[in-house]
Amino acid sequence: MVLVIGGAGSGKLDYVKSLGYSEDEIANGRLNDCKVVYNLQNIVFGDPERAPELLEALLAKEVVVCNEVGSGIIPLTQRERLAREATGRLCIQLAARAARVVRLVCGIPAVIKE
């Protein structure tokens, strides 16, 4: 599995398409039988407490795309704080077992684990 991360608007989707994936292979904010999961953070924010249960299903994907959500000011609501933490912790576990981790900054992909 390839983990693609980066801030909102950093060019993650364009990067995934440049790898040869088409729109209908990319599932936006949901887990189905598509090869690519995009906007993983939306799935986690929907039910943060169950985020750890997603791990194995995500590892079976070809590409997982997630926003980096932890680098702003700490949110005021506990739910948002927990969701942000859960997203980060899930990404740490995904990164540990991913074949490759790519981080997008200004549209530039940097391989941070190979």
Contacts of 80 (CB under 8 A, 6+ apart): none
Shortest approach of another protein to residue 61 CB, angstroms? 16
Token couple for 90: 């899930």
- Position 69 contacts another protein (CB under 8 A): yes
| Size of interface with another protein, in residues (CB under 8 A) | 27
In this structure, the strands spanning 36-38 and 2-6 are unpaired
Cα–Cα distance, 59 to 51 (Å, whole number): 13
Assess 3 for contact with another protein (CB under 8 A): yes
CB nearer to another protein: pick between 6 and 27: 6
Per rule CB under 8 A, is residue 32 in the interface with another protein? no
Nearest Cα neighbor of 70 from 4, 2, 3, 5 is: 5
Does the footprint of another protein cover residue 88 (CB under 8 A)?
A: yes
* Residues at the site binding another protein, with contacts judged by CB under 8 A: 3, 5, 7, 68-74, 78, 81, 84-89, 91-92, 94-96, 101, 103, 112-113
